[in-house]
Amino acid sequence: MVRQHVNPLSRFYQLPRPLPPPAELFAQPALPLHLDIGAARGRFLLAMAQAEPLWNHLGLEIRRPLVEAAEADRLALELGNLRYLFGNANVSLECWLKALPPGLLQRVTIQFPDPWFKKKHHKRRVLQPELVLALADALAEGLALFVQSDVLAVIEPMVAVIEASGCFERPADDARPWREHNPLPVPTERERHVLAQGLPVYRVLYRRNGQPPPPLAELQQHVAVTLEQNPEAADNPASDLATP
């Protein structure tokens, strides 16, 4: 199945959309919160919500039809610890994260995001410096940020911007450069598809450290220099195959 991209920089997706607070989303809003950015069709979180009933799980997705389909599945199973929301993470998430009760957000996952290979499209990628800093502000020390992709040209810039922030560290006993196993009890659909073909998945688990976030301009400059030093080729057609 081919990925169906949307342009997050288009005017429609740049409109701020206030996201409801946890008290309006979950039956027990005080449970620890897992945020999955780019939840796609939502089947990963649907399984996670059943595997971890003492957690709340929130999927944010920019493709509205996928959110509607995922919400229909959630409602059919009457899962009070799961919600899916439509929105652009780089537009609507920062204010929502700032309003969270301290310590509520316990885990963030970003898995197999859309590639956007062309250099002129890098601003469309989900993990921009602003989002990294917002996540660093929202996660308490020791809490988890997990990223994975099957495309090196996608995961390497993600790793670069996360590590340039100075706010996240890998567990000392994790393999480098990539973690061998997924630390979560449920794989995504894309992950199963890639592994079934015998292809690699590149994973990194981070923990929030105690360092304060750097100024945004400093992190943006680092990202700009990194892109200049590592120019990427045009589109790779193979990257657009299968579901996320």
33 forms beta bridges with: 56, 105
Catalytic residues: 114
Cβ atoms of residues 136 and 48 within 8 Å: no
The two three-digit tokens of residue 110, written as one number: 């970003």
Residue 107: partners with Cβ closer than 8 Å, 6 or more residues away? 32, 33, 34, 35, 55, 143, 144, 145, 146
**In this structure, how many other beta carbons lie within 10 angstroms of the beta carbon of residue 183?**
13
| Burial class for 131, CB neighbours closer than 10 Å (0-12, 13-18, 19+) | buried
